[in-house]
Structure 1
Amino acid sequence: MTVSPALEPAARPVRTALRRRYLMCRPEHFAVTYAINPWMDPGAGADAARAVEQWEALRAAYLGLGHEVSLIDPIPGLPDMVFAANGALVVGGRVYGARFTHPERAAEGPAYMEWLRGDGFTDTLEGLHTNEGEGDFLTLDHVILAGTGFRTDLAAHQEAQEFLGRPVVTLRLVDPRFYHLDTALFPLDGGNVAYYPGAFSPGSRAVLERLFPDALLAGEADAAVLGLNAVSDGRNVVVNAEATGLIATLDAHGYTPVPVDLSELRKAGGGPKCCTLELRPAA
């Protein structure tokens, strides 16, 4: 297993938390009735009541950290709508709308776009190319990292760059367990990331090494419980509790892990980040 070495106590930087605004969707209609990723097994099903309980704990964690959480109403017949991150990409007050790969989720894109417009986000673009929002677009201070290989089209990376006016760097995913970028990588802050190297093509690993020489590297065991599907505010990292190695690495580097149990939602391939769409206002 590859993990980043711990820093000596005197070398650990002081991490700064930034207050964020998130959009979430209560999993009232959560179920696993189809299989569109390797995590989903309709035969095994899922416990919707337990999913709601775990989701409420995630929401409470965000509120306890001082973040703002807005809610979109769940829609019957859309069991994956709980995964709000996939619904759009919101950067600098602009909304790049999702266009889902699978028909089972197609109605989620318009639903999220309607909510965002109603909330005052009027500078919007409904994507012409297949993209799954923050599932495959992760925003840092000076660059947007964009995943492709399983869901989001390469053309969507160019479309997002033109609309948002931010540099977009393409990363190719090669392991079907990590079908979205946010299952294999998360921003630690505005300038650094944590990721699992095995999820990426050799060229994409080289790009990540060049862009983020001080990145935290996770091992396969932590990646396999969706430990990289985490949410950081710059200091506090909300992370799946089973990712014990990653949690120890974060702690050793001056971050404050906030473990949560989203094992029920993981049956559909989601974790903390999947449930969380960040609403970034205009600068």
Structure 2
Amino acid sequence: MTVIDTRTQTAPQRTARTRHYLMCPPQHFEVTYAINPWMNTQVPVDVERAHVQWEVLRNTYLSLGHTVELIEPMAGQPDMVFAANGGLVVGKRAYGAKFRFPERTAEGVAYGEWLSEFGIDVFQPAQINEGEGDFLALKKMILAGTGFRTSLEAHIEAANALDRPVVSLELVDPRFYHLDTAIAILDDGHGDSPAEIAYFPGAFSRHSQRTLRDLFPNAILCTEADALVLGLNSVSDGRNVVVPSAAERFSEQLRERGYNPVPVDLSEFLKSGGSVKCCTMEMHR
């Protein structure tokens, strides 16, 4: 006799943990050059709307109980609003950024100086890397992207600078030029639950897809449609996931896993290939 189990599976209870973020106001944000497939200098940015969208994001973090620090934007640095690229902070140490394109070189210096003044010991990199754009910190490891912006040598340098194991992942689709466009950290593993991520498999080489399957067998697999609105460029506190509002199916997947999606519209920043996470550097404990 076959017995069918009709019990409804309950999503796990998620616990939020207060976070410490660094953001940069979009005072000088515009698309004046093209260094990724998203950027088109012929498509104007609605500057007023971009300011409103950024303020909504900042106030969303504050309403969730998080701390938000601000860095002064520099004239002539339109991408400085993407604070995640400015470095990787773990505890009282940081691995500084060294940008691939000369248009963004000054940002690495500015973020390094701000972090130093804040009391963070900043390691000055010799290798090309773009901060949290390609380095995502978990409790037990750092996931590191390479292929477009950050060199493989930088993975070794970051591991030494922060004394953390680094897992290298190869990006192969230029639309997902940074790791934070292809992976979202949902639970960093600091509580009782294991680390959990979401990712879009098509952004990665075959061997990196296997690495992700082995490390995170229960990961959420994001659809290409949601990945193409940068749905994975999200920020989670372990329960609340601030997610681009256009990624509707991804929000459903989050609810099914017990997370609380908090949608925000950052469509103006999508014109430069950025969204929620790009605008947010986390100063990890």
Instruction: Tell me the TM-score range normalised by the shorter chain.
Output: over 0.9
Q: Which amino acid aligns with 2:23?
A: M
Choose which of 123, 133, 136 in structure 2 pairs with 1:135: 133
Choose which of 200, 203, 210 in structure 2 pairs with 1:199: 203
CA–CA distance in 2 between the matches of 1:80 and 1:9? Answer: 46
Q: How does 1:20-39 map to 2 (within 5 A)?
A: 20-39=19-38
The offset of 1:9, in angstroms, is: 5.2
> What TM-score, normalized to structure 1?
0.95
1:58-80 Cα offsets, whole Å, 9 max, x none, are 00110010000000000000000
Residue of structure 1 equivalent to 2:159: 161
CA–CA distance in 2 between the matches of 1:53 and 1:92? Answer: 31
SS at match of 1:158: helix
CA–CA distance in 2 between the matches of 1:159 and 1:11? Answer: 42
1:251 aligns with 2:250: no
Is the Cα contact below 8 Å between 1:14 and 1:254 reproduced in 2? yes
Residue of structure 1 equivalent to 2:4: none
Q: Between the two proteins, what is the percent identity of the paired residues?
A: 60
Residue of structure 1 equivalent to 2:267: 263
> What TM-score, normalized to structure 2?
0.94
CA–CA distance in 2 between the matches of 1:83 and 1:50? Answer: 16
Residue of structure 2 equivalent to 1:71: 70
Structure 2: tracts of 5 or more residues without a match: 1-6, 189-194
Is the Cα contact below 8 Å between 2:31 and 2:78 reproduced in 1? yes
The offset of 1:280, in angstroms, is: 2.0
Residue of structure 2 equivalent to 1:126: 124
Divergent runs of 4+, >4 A:
none
SS at match of 2:54: helix
Higher relative contact order (CA 8 A, sep 6+): 1
Q: Which is higher, the Rg of structure 1 or of structure 2?
A: 2
Q: Which amino acid aligns with 2:90?
A: V
SS at match of 1:169: strand
Q: Which amino acid aligns with 2:166?
A: V
The offset of 1:11, in angstroms, is: 2.9
CA–CA distance in 2 between the matches of 1:107 and 1:63? Answer: 28
Q: Which amino acid aligns with 1:254?
A: G
The offset of 1:260, in angstroms, is: 0.3
CA–CA distance in 2 between the matches of 1:147 and 1:14? Answer: 30
Over the residues paired in the alignment, what is the CA RMSD in angstroms?
0.9
Residue of structure 1 equivalent to 2:109: 110
CA–CA distance in 1 between the matches of 2:128 and 2:186? Answer: 27
Residue of structure 2 equivalent to 1:151: 149
